[in-house]
Chain A
Amino acid sequence: MDELAAEVGVDPLEIREKNWIKHEEFPFTTVAGLEYDSGNYEVATEMAKANFGYDELRAEQKRRQESGDPVQLGIGVSTFTEMCGWAPSKLIGSLSYGAGGWEHATIRMTGTGKVEVITGASAHGQGQETAFSQIVADRLGVPFEDVEVLHGDTQVAAKGFDTYGSRSLVVGGEAVVRAVDKVIEKAKPIAAHLLEANIDDLEYSSGRFKVRGTDQGIGIGELAGAVFAAHDLPDGVEATLDSDATFDPDSLSYPHGRHLCAVEVDTETGRVKMRKYTCVDDIGNVINPMIVAGQVHGGLVQGIAQALWEEAVYDEAGTLVSASFVDYLVPTAADTISFDVDHNTTPSTTNTLGTKGVGEAGTIASTPAVVNAVVDAVRQFGVSDIMMPCTPERVWKAIHAGDAGGTDRTEGADQ
Chain B
Amino acid sequence: MIPAQFEYLAPTSVEEALAALAEHGDEAKVLAGGQSLLPVLRMRLNAPELIVDIGGIDSLRNMVDEGDSVLIGAMVPYYQILADPSVQTGLGLLHKAITAVADPQIRHRGTLGGALVHADPAGDCGAAILALDAELVISGQGGERTVAAADFFEDLFATAVGEDELLTHIRVPKLDGWGSHYEKFVRLAQQWPIVAVAAAVKTDGGTISEARIGLVNMGSTALRATATEQALVGQEATEAGVREACDLAAEGTSPPADLNGDADYRKHLATVLTRRAVLAAAGN
Give me the interface of A with B, judged by CB distance under 8 Å. 268-269, 271, 308-309, 311, 313, 321-322, 326-327, 329-332, 334-335, 391-393, 396-397, 408-409, 411-412
Contacts of A309 in B (CB 8 A): 187-188
Tell me, in angstroms, the Cα distance from A409 to B185 when the chains sit together: 18
Contact of B268 among A311, A331, A409 (CB under 8 A): A409
CB distance A408 to B264 under 8 Å?
yes
Give me the interface of B with A, judged by CB distance under 8 Å. 185, 187-192, 194, 258-262, 264-265, 267-269, 272-273
Contacts of B258 in A (CB 8 A): 327
Contacts of B194 in A (CB 8 A): 392
CB distance B262 to A329 under 8 Å?
no
Smallest CB gap from B187: residue in A = A329
Tell me, in angstroms, the Cα distance from A151 to B272 when the chains sit together: 56
| CB-defined A-B contacts under 8 Å, sample of 18 | A269-B185, A269-B273, A311-B259, A313-B259, A321-B259, A327-B258, A329-B188, A329-B191, A331-B188, A332-B188, A334-B188, A334-B190, A391-B260, A392-B261, A393-B261, A393-B262, A397-B265, A408-B267
Contacts of B190 in A (CB 8 A): 332, 334
CB distance B264 to A412 under 8 Å?
yes
Q: A268-B272, A309-B187, A332-B188 are in contact. Are A396 and B259 (CB under 8 A)?
A: no
Q: A322-B259, A327-B259, A334-B190 are in contact. Are A271 and B264 (CB under 8 A)?
A: no
> Closest approach, in angstroms, between the C-beta of B147 and any C-beta of chain A?
31
Smallest CB gap from A397: residue in B = B265
Is the contact region of chain A dominated by helix, strand, or loop, or is it mixed?
A: loop
> Closest approach, in angstroms, between the C-beta of B40 and any C-beta of chain A?
13
Contacts of A331 in B (CB 8 A): 188
Contacts of B188 in A (CB 8 A): 309, 329-332, 334-335
Contact of A393 among B191, B192, B265 (CB under 8 A): B265
A-B interface, 9 closest residue pairs, ranked by CB to CB distance from nearest: A334-B189, A393-B261, A393-B265, A268-B272, A329-B188, A335-B188, A411-B264, A327-B259, A335-B189
Tell me, in angstroms, the Cα distance from A321 to B269 when the chains sit together: 23
Further 5 A-B residue pairs, CB within 8 A, beyond A334-B188, A393-B262: A308-B187, A309-B187, A332-B189, A392-B187, A396-B265
Tell me, in angstroms, the Cα distance from A391 to B259 when the chains sit together: 9
Smallest CB gap from A329: residue in B = B188
> Closest approach, in angstroms, between the C-beta of A372 and any C-beta of chain B?
20
Contacts of A332 in B (CB 8 A): 188-190
Smallest CB gap from B185: residue in A = A269
Smallest CB gap from A408: residue in B = B264
Contacts of A311 in B (CB 8 A): 259
Smallest CB gap from B195: residue in A = A269
> Closest approach, in angstroms, between the C-beta of B250 and any C-beta of chain A?
10
CB distance B272 to A269 under 8 Å?
yes
Contacts of A271 in B (CB 8 A): 185, 187
Tell me, in angstroms, the Cα distance from A396 to B273 when the chains sit together: 14
Contacts of B189 in A (CB 8 A): 332, 334-335
Contacts of B185 in A (CB 8 A): 269, 271, 392
Q: A326-B192, A332-B189, A335-B188 are in contact. Are A412 and B268 (CB under 8 A)?
A: no
CB distance B262 to A412 under 8 Å?
yes
